Structure 1
Amino acid sequence: MIPSPSTNAATMQRPALAPVINTLVSPKGMTKFIPGLSKIVRHHGSLDPVLGRLGSLEVRLATTTKEIRKAQKLRFKVFFKEMSAAPNGASLISRRDVDEYDALCDHLLVLDHDAKKRFGKQKPKVVGTYRLLRQEVADSHSGFYTAGEYDIAPLIKAHPSLRFLELGRSCVLKAYRNKRTVELLWQGIWNYVQHHRIDVMIGCASLEGTDPKELALPLSFLHHYAAPPTGWHAAALPERFTAMDILPKEEVDPKAALHALPPLIKGYLRLGASFGRGAVIDHQFGTTDVLVILPVTAISPRYVGHFSAAANRQAA
């Protein structure tokens, strides 16, 4: 998503791959303890849980409760210790970022196999994660997390033949926020999207801060320059709606606005994403959220080619 990532940002929700996001932080969701999580064992059918490898790093889908708990611990470290999110009682006690969606979602992990040895054994370390929720799973349970902030029902209803995938809860350990890690995450996402024949990716992406006036430039840019095409509109829920057109279009400097956007959102833009109408203030996480809408058909052919090449190398 971003041609040349830096490594000093710590903002979010959302790819060598020509596109690269240099930092992933998407602290989305509620924070409830999940009693049934201890019984989770993931089976991914014909999809190999290992989706890619680059040097000592491996991207894979979690298959055990232990792996999911490691992802939750990473999320807690990034969202609550590094950033300004305020944990509730359950998270404070467990030192994990948990919610009821964890039991429904697939969890994408990046592992470092060169992590320090413990007790004479090599112990892979979870250094990155992304949470994936397919439409059929969401429909049969609690729906998409995004529906708690945006009215996405009309959007989904307008495309009954398309399969939606929600991306969220993404983060990367600070020392690993670089091109290699994010390249691997997106190789994993692309393999997953291809296997499950996903047509559209959606999710909440975040800008740090809860004062829209301080975010006037990037929010106004997204409103004026990255609105969805006809048939792809979705808006924030009325009770959570915050206007994004704070500045008139003629006062928006696109170059300055792009510089002010979190790397992840810039990455989505370069892939071809558009953004829903209205932002949502999340005071618990100290962020202002925007809705990302990314049909697979909107992704630039050059990126598709790069993704596919990575997938083919993995298959070989």
Structure 2
Amino acid sequence: MQNVAETFSLDCAKVVAHLPGENLLGRIGSLEVRLARSTEEIEAAQAVRYRVFCEELGAQVTVPGAAVQRDVDAFDDICDHLIVCDRNLPGPDYRRVVGTYRLLPQERAELNGGFYSASEFELSSLVERNRGLRFVELGRSCVLPAYRNKRTIEAMWQAIWAYVKRHEIDVMAGCASFHGTVPAAYAEALSFLRQNCRAEGNWAVRAVQERFSSMDLMPEEAINAKTALMAMPPLIKGYLRLGARFGDGCVVDYEFGTTDVFVVLPVSFISPRYISYYSNDGESLVA
């Protein structure tokens, strides 16, 4: 994660204008996952991000965001905002938002100055090498503590898969983060990703030179796969299970207090069993 914009807009009307009608993408139990459909719901997603990134994890925010206790940046105006709502909570839907994921389709990024991750990773080169494929950038993923469980994660991935099918996306990409600004603290996990899960060929992507930090911190023979995986955040382990590959080099984001890696997940890499699993639950939602 990183702050790439110097100016911020708290007006989300442009986002709401391009969203289709119902937007429901996933449902498990009392949890419904869909795209935000009002300014209030987008602001609720930003408030969840603030609670997780700033209050819980200590990220620094700019004055506009801090003043309203929301994590905001200029990209919010052009992204789709996936929200998880708990129908068992009282009040209108915008008061029921317990998790969020931000999605930026390639066409919208290219019309508005590029992708969010481009200040950390050479994403533009990756897209250019794969012209003809449709990318979506995933980011700003967070869930409130009480909802950090398998059910919520599965509901979110059901929704993301429905979104991918609905919009005919070929490649998911974006930053994922380790908490903390010392890559050596995650030497085994980062080394494992580089040595075993690095994106290659047309999928290769590298941290921008001026922010590049090596992920190759331990020799292969010293790495224990089990302990390396245990040190990874759940989001990164989830990407791995789906077949994702990772860029070369990590980036330290001091404002957010994270060490960022880049995830590349072509739809063609996803195991058929996961496609079947998520499609079966959400098939009626993407027809």
What is the SS of the residue equivalent to 1:236?
Answer: coil
Q: Which residue of 2 aligns with 1:52?
A: 26
Q: How does 1:167-206 map to 2 (within 5 A)?
A: 167-206=138-177
Task: Sort the Cα spacing of 1:221 and 1:136 in 2 relative to 1 into closer, same or farther, 3 A.
Answer: same
What is the SS of the residue equivalent to 2:172?
Answer: strand
1:116-139 CA-partner distances (Å, limit 9, x unpaired)? 35xxx7875100100000000000
List runs of 5+ in structure 1 lacking aligned partners.
1-26
CA contact (8 A) 1:78 1:171 kept: yes
What is the SS of the residue equivalent to 2:16?
Answer: coil
1:223-248 CA-partner distances (Å, limit 9, x unpaired)? 11111132210100000000110111
Q: Which residue of 1 aligns with 2:277?
A: 306
- 1:37 has 2:12 as partner: yes
Q: Which residue of 2 aligns with 1:296?
A: 267
Post-superposition offset of 1:74: 0.6
Task: Sort the Cα spacing of 1:59 and 1:28 in 2 relative to 1 into closer, same or farther, 3 A.
Answer: farther
Post-superposition offset of 1:38: 4.9
TM-score (norm 2): 0.94
Once residues 52 and 260 of structure 1 are traced to their aligned partners in structure 2, the CA distance between those partners, rounded to angstroms, is 29
What is the SS of the residue equivalent to 2:132?
Answer: coil
CA contact (8 A) 1:28 1:204 kept: no
1:172-191 CA-partner distances (Å, limit 9, x unpaired)? 01101111111111111111
Once residues 179 and 286 of structure 2 are traced to their aligned partners in structure 1, the CA distance between those partners, rounded to angstroms, is 38
Once residues 126 and 35 of structure 1 are traced to their aligned partners in structure 2, the CA distance between those partners, rounded to angstroms, is 18
Amino acid at match of 1:167: L
Once residues 65 and 122 of structure 1 are traced to their aligned partners in structure 2, the CA distance between those partners, rounded to angstroms, is 12
% of aligned pairs identical? 50
Moved more, 104-113 or 88-97: 88-97
Once residues 137 and 38 of structure 1 are traced to their aligned partners in structure 2, the CA distance between those partners, rounded to angstroms, is 16
Q: Which residue of 1 aligns with 2:81?
A: 107
Once residues 250 and 286 of structure 2 are traced to their aligned partners in structure 1, the CA distance between those partners, rounded to angstroms, is 40
Q: How does 1:211-230 map to 2 (within 5 A)?
A: 211-230=182-201
Q: Which residue of 2 aligns with 1:209?
A: 180
What is the SS of the residue equivalent to 1:270?
Answer: helix
Task: Sort the Cα spacing of 1:73 and 1:279 in 2 relative to 1 into closer, same or farther, 3 A.
Answer: same
Once residues 315 and 159 of structure 1 are traced to their aligned partners in structure 2, the CA distance between those partners, rounded to angstroms, is 26
Task: Sort the Cα spacing of 1:193 and 1:245 in 2 relative to 1 into closer, same or farther, 3 A.
Answer: same
Post-superposition offset of 1:40: 4.6
CA contact (8 A) 1:108 1:130 kept: yes
1:62-116 CA-partner distances (Å, limit 9, x unpaired)? 1111110000011000100011212221221111000000000000001111113
Post-superposition offset of 1:154: 2.0
Moved more, 96-105 or 79-88: 79-88
Task: Sort the Cα spacing of 1:227 and 1:114 in 2 relative to 1 into closer, same or farther, 3 A.
Answer: same
From 135, 153, 167, the equivalent of 1:164 is 135
Q: Which residue of 2 aligns with 1:232?
A: 203
What is the SS of the residue equivalent to 2:34?
Answer: strand
May I ask how many residue pairs the two structures share in their alignment?
286
Task: Sort the Cα spacing of 1:28 and 1:178 in 2 relative to 1 into closer, same or farther, 3 A.
Answer: farther
Q: How does 1:235-250 map to 2 (within 5 A)?
A: 235-250=206-221
CA contact (8 A) 1:113 1:123 kept: no
Task: Sort the Cα spacing of 1:125 and 1:195 in 2 relative to 1 into closer, same or farther, 3 A.
Answer: same
Q: Which residue of 2 aligns with 1:66?
A: 40
Post-superposition offset of 1:55: 2.1
Post-superposition offset of 1:35: 4.6
Once residues 159 and 230 of structure 2 are traced to their aligned partners in structure 1, the CA distance between those partners, rounded to angstroms, is 27
Give the structure with the larger helix fraction.
2
What is the SS of the residue equivalent to 1:256?
Answer: helix
Post-superposition offset of 1:39: 5.8
CA contact (8 A) 2:165 2:286 kept: no
TM-score (norm 1): 0.86
Post-superposition offset of 1:311: 2.1
Q: Could you list the runs of 4 or more consecutive aligned residues of structure 1 that deviate by over 6 angstroms after TM superposition?
A: none
Once residues 171 and 100 of structure 2 are traced to their aligned partners in structure 1, the CA distance between those partners, rounded to angstroms, is 20
What is the SS of the residue equivalent to 1:278?
Answer: coil
Amino acid at match of 2:208: L
List runs of 5+ in structure 2 lacking aligned partners.
none
Task: Sort the Cα spacing of 1:122 and 1:263 in 2 relative to 1 into closer, same or farther, 3 A.
Answer: closer
Once residues 36 and 94 of structure 2 are traced to their aligned partners in structure 1, the CA distance between those partners, rounded to angstroms, is 16
Amino acid at match of 1:90: P
